[in-house]
């Protein structure tokens, strides 16, 4: 995968610019100049640590995850897996610097055979990113996994098994797709993504994801921290264009600062990532207030589903009458959208 497309430091499009909310680190209070969002609103909050070669994203996925999972009757372990995937793709997709789509696909050989989550980046400043996802799994194998003591903290070995995780970037018609693949070798989706960035992109990355069901519905949250690139000279600091000024003899020191930031990030608790009372900015302040952190304008999230009767009708028109008759049940061809679980009914040709 072209590093500049997903996590690079130089490419920039004006409509995706994010402004810092304050000139310096937080001291004893938070100076907040970014646009206000309701705590229950799903959104991604970009940030950068002061004094450390690290930038990141924190995401709150309450309304979006609840809406997507409400359309399906997934058992708890499968729902949590999809919530983790949606959270991860929102964090990674928010790093795109152009209007396009990040598609994350996991292929397994166990309870779950396929998992898809994608993020469509906004085309203009102030617009929302859009996410969707679905899971294909074997209910009998899932019940057996639960009977054996399913641990959702080990979702890869216990639900997906052996396979791979692919990240595909689609910039639209008449463009090449870019894809990166990593084996399902970690315990969680977050660990697999970390291994991809560490090994394929040489970009040290720390990710933590959390999801669960509360009395008011499903909640999910996550946080990612990435090591800034070394420039060997003077570089920009700020937002997605961040470069870190460091000579080779400074690199060890900067790597130590990065590790400190990753340790602080890992202290985020599940209840904090899922909270509807502690805002993402409030959590960032708790984690990083000693050194300071800059926040950038958040990007809202919404549910994306591109299905329509017209689109599905176009697909069915490619089949001949004999094939459509074979597909029919009681004289109708019924097509179900995997993403939103909506049924579309078409009258089959008369045999």
- pLDDT tens string 212-254: 999 889 999 999 999 986 544 333 333 444 444 555 557 777 7
Same domain, 146 and 83: yes
Three-class secondary structure of residue 348 per DSSP: coil
Buried b vs exposed e over 264-279: b needs ≥16 C-beta within 10 Å? bbeebeeebbbbeebb
Same domain, 243 and 113: yes
Same domain, 285 and 317: no
Q: pLDDT (tens digit, 0 to 9) for every residue of the chain, 351 residues total?
A: 444 445 543 232 222 233 333 333 333 334 343 444 454 579 999 999 987 789 999 999 988 999 999 988 899 999 999 999 999 999 999 998 888 899 999 999 999 999 999 999 987 777 899 999 999 999 999 999 999 999 988 999 999 999 999 999 998 778 888 999 999 999 999 999 999 998 888 889 999 999 999 988 999 999 999 998 654 433 333 344 444 455 555 777 778 888 899 999 999 999 999 998 899 999 999 999 887 899 999 999 999 877 667 777 777 777 777 777 777 777 777 777 676 667 767 777 766
Relative to beta strand 299-303, strand 129-137 is parallel
Question: Cα–Cα distance between 201 and 184 in angstroms, integer?
Answer: 17
> Given the structure tokens 């989706």, which residue do they identify?
189
Same domain, 183 and 319: no
Same domain, 106 and 81: yes
- At 208 the pLDDT is 97
- Of 190, 222, 266, 218, nearest in space to 78 by CA: 218
- At 308 the pLDDT is 66
Question: Cα–Cα distance between 159 and 324 in angstroms, integer?
Answer: 35
- What CATH code is carried by the domain that includes residue 325? 3.90.1280.10
Same domain, 266 and 315: no
Same domain, 260 and 336: no
Tens-digit pLDDT profile for residues 87-116: 999 999 999 888 889 999 999 999 999 999
Same domain, 236 and 109: yes
Same domain, 295 and 327: no
Round to the nearest angstrom and report the end-to-end CA distance of the chain.
49
Question: Cα–Cα distance between 146 and 159 in angstroms, integer?
Answer: 10
- What CATH code is carried by the domain that includes residue 275? 3.55.30.10
Domain boundary among 303, 319, 338: 303
Q: How far is CA 27 from CA 286, 288, 290, in A?
A: 12, 10, 8
Same domain, 342 and 229: no
Q: Which ranges of the chain does DSSP label H, i.e. alpha helix? A: 3-6, 62-70, 76-93, 139-147, 155, 189-199, 251-266, 270-274, 280-288, 309-316, 321-327
Buried b vs exposed e over 176-194: b needs ≥16 C-beta within 10 Å? eebebebebebebbbbbbb
- At 66 the pLDDT is 93
Question: Cα–Cα distance between 103 and 319 in angstroms, integer?
Answer: 27
Same domain, 317 and 258: no
Q: Which structural domain, as residue segments, surrounds residue 337?
A: 309-347
Same domain, 321 and 211: no
User: How many structural domains comprise the chain?
Assistant: 2
Q: Compute the C-alpha angle 232/235/240, nearest 5°.
A: 120
Give me the sign of the Cα torsion angle 282, 286, 292, 298.
negative
Domain boundary among 303, 318, 337: 303
User: What are 245's two structure tokens?
Assistant: 């000024």
């Amino acid at each position: 995968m072209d590093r500049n497309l997903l996590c690079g430091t130089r490419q920039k499009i004006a409509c995706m610019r994010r402004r810092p909310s304050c000139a310096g680190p937080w001291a004893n209070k938070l100076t907040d100049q970014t646009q206000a969002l309701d705590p229950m609103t799903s959104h991604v909050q970009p940030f950068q640590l002061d004094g450390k070669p690290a930038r990141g994203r924190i995401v709150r996925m309450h309304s979006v995850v609840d809406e997507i999972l409400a359309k399906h009757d997934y058992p708890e372990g499968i729902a949590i897996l999809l919530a983790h995937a949606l959270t991860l793709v929102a964090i990674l997709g928010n790093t795109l610097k152009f209007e396009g789509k990040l598609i994350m696909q996991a292929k397994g050989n166990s309870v779950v055979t396929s998992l898809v989550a994608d993020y469509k980046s906004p085309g203009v400043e102030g617009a929302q990113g859009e996410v969707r996802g679905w899971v294909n799994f074997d209910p009998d194998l899932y019940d057996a996994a639960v009977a054996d003591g399913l641990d959702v903290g080990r979702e890869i070995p216990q639900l997906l098994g052996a396979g791979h995780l692919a990240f595909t970037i689609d910039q639209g018609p008449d463009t090449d797709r870019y894809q990166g693949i990593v084996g399902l070798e970690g315990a969680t989706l977050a660990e697999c993504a970390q291994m991809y960035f560490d090994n394929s992109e040489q970009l040290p990355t720390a990710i933590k994801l959390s999801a669960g069901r509360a009395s008011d519905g499903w909640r999910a949250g996550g946080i990612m921290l990435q090591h800034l690139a070394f420039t060997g000279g003077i570089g920009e600091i700020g937002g997605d264009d961040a470069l870190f000024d460091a000579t080779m003899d400074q690199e060890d020191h900067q790597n130590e600062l990065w590790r400190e930031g990753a340790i602080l990030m890992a202290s985020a608790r599940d209840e904090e990532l899922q909270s509807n009372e502690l805002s993402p900015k409030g959590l960032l302040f708790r984690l990083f207030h000693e050194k300071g952190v800059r926040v950038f304008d958040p990007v809202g999230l919404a549910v994306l589903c591109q299905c329509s009767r017209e689109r599905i009708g176009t697909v069915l028109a490619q089949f001949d009458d004999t094939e459509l008759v074979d597909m029919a049940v009681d004289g109708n061809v019924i097509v179900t959208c995997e993403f939103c679980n909506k049924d579309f009914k078409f009258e089959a040709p008369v045999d």
